[in-house]
Structure 1
Amino acid sequence: MSTSDGYRGESGGRGKKKRIHLAAHFPGVNSTTVWADPRSGSQIDFSSFEHLARTAERGLFDFFFLAEGLRLREHGGRIHDLDVVGRPESITVLNALAAVTERIGLAGTVNATFNEPYELARRFASLDHLSGGRAAWNVVTSSDAFTGENFRRGGYLDRADRYARAAEFLDTTRELWDSWSPDGAQRPFSHTGRQFAIEGAFTVPRSPQGHPVVIQAGDSAEGREFAASAADVVFSRHSSPEAGRAFHADVKRRLDRYGRQPGDLKIMPAVTYVLGDTDAEAQEKAAEIRRQQVSPQNAILALEQVWGRDLSAYDPDGPLPGIDPDPDSGRVQGRVRVADPFAVAAKWRALSQAKGLSIRQTVIETTGRQSFVGTPRTVAAALEEHVATDAADGFVLVPHLTPGGLDDFVDHVVPLLQERGVFRTGYSGTTLRSHLGLPAPVWKGGTP
């Protein structure tokens, strides 16, 4: 395999630099996206998806990544403002993007709790065929009864069981994909387990990648073990060097017990960036973006997510509440719950008092920070350092603008990474597995 694409090893061999993997996350209904910027466009129109995907492909990225939202989130009994713009179904969008892109991988988030293996296996195998081997599935789970109300089995899954179901779901899906052999022979499938009991004949022949690439994002002990046993890519949240190296080492250590090599799993944290003509200018731009991301209204919403109370009467430019959180209020629905709101509230109060920060300033300080800030050369050097020191194998870039937020990175940072010899100058393969340097899946179908 050409070194202009991926490779299985961790260092690229003696005398070779470790190559960087890059992916693009579509900026949608999250606190990163700045909707007030006049350059901000629709996150529903297909033209927005097309622009970002084509920009990422022009930048020779490994894949384009879509999130999923199965229910509009609520805050105080009302639809969360960011969700009012809607949340399209990811595989539908990726199928359309397959027709207007040629090489970039197409990754979609699909929930293993509220789907069934047979249907999902068909959808991803079809996408893999339509795209010529570029499909990827980001496996997520849910124990949220609020989301489950949209489904027939709403709320039935205990939180402790979600990884057990996801693991069997993925195993069953791979059994379906393996019911067609590499030479085109088909055989009936039969699976009986705690979560699923299905049998029949799978309708889609073996796809170009054999198995679409599997992405996983859990950070718990169960999530890390699941990633080591079954995932090809980990979408991690550890973007600082120290946290990244600790996570990278922990997950890679777990691979051996499953007969896997370090290069068989790529760890790619979600990161943001801000560029400027000078480092000082970039820092000023980053501070302004943080202020845009955390408007006065968003500051109160972020505060209510921790406190679980109606805090609309508080002044965003005033001090933090003196009252304790109410973690059982149910004021925020469909958003990630704060694990220990009392500890978070205490930390925020201490920070606010130490630095004399208002509510809005405290939220900006604790939630609105960019990962890489500086000139293109500064950012390129920092990205290389992260990968060279095993803080990551690559990055999933989350721009703050839809859909043009990736343009300046592709135009100004990618050429510098290429000059440094740490990023491809062209796609040498046609599948996402080849871009990532992942081994072909071993066919486990037996004799048809």
Structure 2
Amino acid sequence: MSKPLKQIHLAAHFPGVNSTTVWSDPASGSQIDFDSFVHFARTAERAKFDFLFLAEGLRLREQGGEIYDLDVVGRPDTFTVLAALAAVTEHLGLTGTINSTFNEPYEVARQFASLDHLSGGRAAWNVVTSWDAFTGENFRRGGFLPREERYERAREFLDTAHELFDSWDGGEILADPVSGEFLRDAGPGAFAHRGEQFDISGHFNVPRSPQGRPVIFQAGDSDEGREFAAASADAIFGRYGTLDEGRAFYADVKGRLSRYGRTHDELKILPAATFVLGDTDAEARELAHEVRRLQVSGATAIKYLEHVWNRDLSGYDPDGPLPDVDPEPGENTIALGRASVRMNRDPVAVAREWRERAAAGGLSIRELVIETTARQSFVGSPLTVAQAIDALVQADAADGFILVPHLTPGGLDAFADTVVPLLQERGVFRREYDGPTLRDHLGLAAPRALAPVRG
């Protein structure tokens, strides 16, 4: 008996602060104007996507002590944008990234519960952590949290938020979890949490939302991040779009679910993916090459190299050879507020590897950066791209993909008009939404185990 076809999940990432968008293209629009968000969201909904995803930036990136202006700067408040989009869409899920390090559970739970009510059950929370003092300088407790403790706070933050979401399920007498004393005026919305990170009690003022709880996403790829997702998340953003890497990640994360009493289908794995479409595969490859050159200008290539070298390299020719000096040791003070290879790898070893690669291929600085930062996951005709997406999902390398177009806001249009119909013809993607909530779109049941009202 043949294995039934898996249904593909598709979502769209509205690009904000990033180096993917080709801002120089005449078709590229604003990342701030509401019309851009509306166009993007309505295209995703027209294509029957599961949700729209907004990343979060709590501080503008800097490089060499100045605002990094080679990719877009500025990001409106996530909740404000998603609440506004709830009014101009009917089915599309609305996912926002909110940091668990620099916020408080009551405030975040109240905002997401409100969004879930306003949208009729379409809210989702991407739970992220932060440890760097650069971001923390915008907050009262800036830089206070050691990196190794960030997931401890995140776990208790999410547990506390769940207690708040679930507090309207009962009307029983609520007891203090430490003293055992009964709290006055206990009833729907009453809560008391005493923990290492949070010590709060009171009444939650938003009734149970349509989904019970917002859908929970997690983005970390570390072992702690994978474990956090297996224990608490409904979906995880994967980094791996190739068959072998994707299957390994998929098997690892799904394999952790049983230790928390969860089944294989209770966590969706959704890697981010870019795409370039053409009428033919050859045309798409040619366009993809041009897109990469537009994404990595000469100035961008030099700035990217500075992430590794931790030096001012502005005097180097981006069309010339790599610097013959080694990276500066120590903490990265050149690039702040963005991920860097220096966080995970030995920069001297990276420089040595890149010199060897450049020498072997006769690559300039810009050509090397283009080659080492390739972002295009799917390149080809609509049929080729549809086949590639379907093959990865059916092979358990992913449950679907979060698409990141290189144009804002119209970069999703061609995919919606050409690739989606082909996936529908293959019987692996919906033609209509199955229900009103994001949990319906993702095939997730209502929260299985609600936090009990203590008494």
Into which bin does the TM-score normalised by the smaller protein fall?
over 0.9
1:331 paired residue number: 334
1:123-160 CA-partner distances (Å, limit 9, x unpaired): 00000000000000001100010000000000100000
Superimposed CA distance per residue, residues 388-412 of structure 1 (whole angstroms, 9 cap, x where no aligned partner):
0000000000000000000000000
Alignment-mate amino acid for residue 363 of structure 1? V
Cross-structure match for 1:443: 450
Q: Aligned with 1:328: secondary structure?
A: coil
Match of 1:85 in 2: 73
Cα deviation, residue 82, structure 1 = 4.4
Question: Residues 429 and 183 of structure 1: is their aligned pair in 2 closer, same or farther, counting only changes over 3 Å?
Answer: farther
How far apart in 1 are the matches of 2:267 and 2:332? 40
Q: Within 2, Cα distance between the matches of 1:32 and 1:368?
A: 10
The one-letter code of the counterpart of 2:92 is I
Deviations 1:393-446 (A, max 9, x none): 000000000000000000000000000000001001000001000111132234
Which amino acid in the other structure matches residue 137 of structure 1?
Answer: W
Rounded to whole Å, the distance in 1 between the matches of 2:421 and 2:83 is 30
- Cα root mean square deviation, aligned: 1.5
Q: Tell me the residue number matched to 1:421.
A: 427
Shift of residue 325, structure 1, vs aligned partner: 1.1
2:264 aligned with 1:262, yes or no?
A: yes
Q: State the AA in 2 paired with 1:310.
A: D
Cα distance, 1:332 vs. partner? 1.1
Q: Which residue among 66, 83, 89 is the counterpart of 1:101?
A: 89
Q: Which residue number corresponds to residue 128 of structure 1?
A: 116
Out of 375, 380, 397, the position equivalent to 1:374 is 380
Q: Is the 8 A contact 2:285 2:379 kept in 1?
A: yes
2:23 maps to amino acid: W
Deviating more after overlay: 28-37 vs 251-260: 28-37
Deviations 1:310-364 (A, max 9, x none): 0000000000111111242511111113222223222211211110100000000
SS at 1:34 equivalent = coil
Alpha-carbon distance between aligned partners in 2 of 1:346 and 1:20, rounded to the nearest angstrom: 41
Equivalent AA in structure 2 for residue 135 of structure 1: A
The equivalent of 1:62 in structure 2 is: 50
8 Å contact 2:17–2:57 — kept in the other structure? no
Q: Which residue identity is paired with 2:154?
A: A
Q: Matched residues in 2 for 1:290 and 1:331: separation? A: 24
> Aligned partner of 1:429: which letter?
G
Comparing both chains, which one has the higher relative contact order based on Cα–Cα distances under 8 Å and sequence gaps of 6 or more? 1
Contact 1:136–1:213 under 8 Å retained in 2: yes
Q: How does 1:341-352 map to 2 (within 5 A)?
A: 341-352=347-358
* Alignment-derived partner of residue 177 in structure 2: none
The residue that corresponds to 1:147 in the other structure is: 135
Provide the C-alpha distance between the structure 2 equivalents of 1:115 and 1:107, rounded to a whole number of angstroms. Answer: 17
Counterpart for residue 117 of structure 1: 105
Corresponding letter in the other structure for 2:359:
Q
Q: CA deviation at 1:232?
A: 0.5
Mark the CA change 1:57 to 1:38 in structure 2 (over 3 Å): closer, same or farther. Answer: same
Query: CA separation in 2, counterparts of 1:325 and 1:306?
Result: 7
Structure 2, unaligned runs of 5 or more: 173-186
Question: Could you say which residue in structure 1 is the equivalent of 2:398?
Answer: 392
**Structure 1 residue 366: Cα displacement:** 0.6
Distance in 1 (CA, whole Å) between partners of 2:155 and 2:201 is: 18
Q: Provide the residue aligned with 2:252 in structure 1.
A: 250
State the Cα deviation string for residues 245-281 of structure 1 (Å, max 9, x = none): 1000000000000000111000000000011111111
Selected match of 1:412 from 413, 418, 422: 418
SS of aligned partner of 1:324: coil
Change (3 A) 1:105 1:247: same
State the AA in 2 paired with 1:431: T
The question of 1:207 aligning with 2:209 is answered yes
Q: In the alignment, which residue of structure 2 is the partner of 1:403?
A: 409
Choose 110-119 or 322-331, whichever is displaced more. 322-331
The separation in 2 between residues aligned to 1:308 and 1:49, in whole angstroms, is: 36
Q: Compute the TM-score of the two structures, normalised by the length of structure 2.
A: 0.94
Answer with 53-62 or 14-23: which moved more: 14-23
The alpha-carbon distance between structure 1 residues 83 and 172, as it changes in their structure 2 partners (threshold 3 A), is: farther
Q: Distance in 1 between the 2:402 and 2:233 partners?
A: 16
Does the 8 Å contact 1:112/1:169 carry over to 2?
yes
Give the 3-state SS of the residue equivalent to 1:143 in structure 2. Answer: coil
Using the alignment, how far apart are the partners of 2:407 and 2:192 within structure 1?
46
SS of match in other structure, 2:168: coil
TM-score by length of 1: 0.95
Structure-1 separation of matches of 2:388 and 2:32:
33
Superimposed CA distance per residue, residues 210-229 of structure 1 (whole angstroms, 9 cap, x where no aligned partner):
11000101000100000100
Distance 1:276 1:187, change over 3 A: closer
Contact 1:25 1:396 in 2 (8 A): yes
- Counterpart-to-counterpart distance in 2, 1:183 and 1:399: 48
In 2: Cα distance, 1:191 partner to 1:373 partner: 50
Q: Which of 125, 128, 132 pairs up with 1:137?
A: 125
1:156 to 139, 144, 149: 144
Pair 388,314 (structure 1): closer, same or farther in 2 beyond 3 Å: same
Matched residue of 1:53: which SS? Answer: helix
Aligned pairs (5 A) from 1:278-293:
278-293=280-295
Corresponding residue for residue 363 of structure 2: 357
Number of matched pairs: 436
Moved more, 343-352 or 19-28: 343-352
Paired with 2:28 and 2:332, the residues of 1 have a C-alpha distance of: 34
Structure 1 counterpart of 2:208, one-letter code:
R
Cross-structure match for 1:8: none
Picking from 215, 235, 249, the partner of 1:233 is 235
1:242 and 1:183 map into 2 onto residues whose CA distance is 51
- What is the CA distance between 1:187 and its match in structure 2? 4.2
Tell whether the 8 Å contact from 2:191 to 2:204 is kept in structure 1 after alignment.
yes
Alpha-carbon offset, residue 15 of structure 1:
5.1
Structure-to-structure mapping, 1:284-323, within 5 angstroms: 284-323=286-325
